[in-house]
Amino acid sequence: MGQSTTSARDARNEPVMVHASIDFNEIALIKSMLISADIEFFVEGDSQTDWGPVFAQCPMAGGMKVFVRSEDAVEAAEIIDSLNDK
């Protein structure tokens, strides 16, 4: 019985990708908005490499991906979608 409770808790904390982009400015704005909303996140692909920022902005490199806990995914998606409304 304890395992199912643990499994349910782990599922809520499972990382979910909520946005992908090759635009550093867009990712910076999203990070700021998620911080303001107190939503934990991580960004994959935003580190500086030997190739510099141009490499991360290359669509073939996959760009940058924003991940949040699955329990925060709906709220994070709403925050990100609000950028399109402006």
- Could you read off the pLDDT of 9-52 as tens digits, one per residue? 566 789 999 999 988 899 999 999 999 999 999 999 876 554 55
Domain count, the chain: 1
Antiparallel, parallel or unpaired: β 41-44 and 15-21: unpaired
- Could you read off the pLDDT of 46-68 as tens digits, one per residue? 765 545 555 555 555 567 899 99
Domain with 77 in it? 2-85
Tell me how far apart the alpha carbons of residues 15 and 48 are, in angstroms, rounded to a whole number: 22
pTM for this model (two decimals): 0.73
- Could you read off the pLDDT of 3-12 as tens digits, one per residue? 545 565 566 7
| CATH code of residue 31 | 3.30.70
In the numeric block, the tokens 């909520």 are attached to 18
For a pLDDT cut of 90, what percent of the chain falls above it? Answer: 50
